[in-house]
Structure 1
Amino acid sequence: MTLTISAQPLTAAAFAPFGDVIESENQHQFYINDGKALRYHDIARVGIAGSEAHVGISLVDVSPWSLPLAVTLMEKHPKGSQAFIPLDDQPFLILVAPCGTTPAPGDIRAFVSNGRQGINYHADTWHHPIVSLQDQQRFIIVDRIGKDDNCDLHHLEPGQLEVVLG
């Protein structure tokens, strides 16, 4: 005898006994990166036994930036790595600088993802907010979330660094 089950629509309530539904509907959200990205914060958790912090999975919608890009902000997360996994198969711009003291404009490197490549910044690595190059773009973010602060900002003077696609 064959057992038959009927698939039901995936909802947070129906799936709750088994895990988290990863979606942006009805989630805590706020703008980050000077209003260029809407983050759906901490929508699923990767549990870590015995720790007050946890690994969070978030979604973020990034608005397109204009080029040439005037770089005025770098940030880092000293207590954990931060991954961005693209969902829209669109190229995006990545700006990074080595760990440690505040980066000088000459320390910053630029990369372009083909839109199918995600990135994971090592803990304490300076980076610019993700730069969408075409349309609004959605990413999955996997990073450490805790009650303590884990984001250091460094502002560069306008006019010090501009990025173009080569």
Structure 2
Amino acid sequence: MDQLPTGLPSLATLSTWRDNFVRNTSEAFTKMQARDYIRLVVIIGAYALLRPYIMKIGARLQERQHERDAMEELLPADIHPNELRTGKKFAIPGVEESDSEEEGEAKPGQWGKRARVRQRKFIREKLEEEERRLREAQEEEEDKDIADLLED
């Protein structure tokens, strides 16, 4: 295929494409019989008549979905963020507090149940240590602020 340096087809190729398009389009309509014309008119007419109704149905379905999404956003959360700060324990799905859990068959690349529980406990302990360290640092900072105020 002839191509120009920019990657575009050459003028000869474009001329061939145009000739093919004109020939195929004109022959498609000259070879049509009355039955083919009727079929074409019925298909176009049905599309023109049914399209507005299909669009309305689609709009209603989309509006209902938007309303459902808006209602889900308005629902209150199961746990309020302030409840997380109080230090209450919350149940984590799939994690039981007892250590007598069965370990499933661990396939390559997958963790068994005990390994997942150990990992969650490890993360929980590290988070508690970090919170404790931050709390102590904050208390020390408050003590320094109070000491500075008392010295003045």
Q: State if a TM-score over 0.5 links the two structures.
A: no
Whose helix fraction is larger, Structure 1's or Structure 2's? 2
TM-score, structure 2 normalization:
0.20
Higher relative contact order (CA 8 A, sep 6+): 1
TM-score, structure 1 normalization:
0.19
Whose strand fraction is larger, Structure 1's or Structure 2's? 1
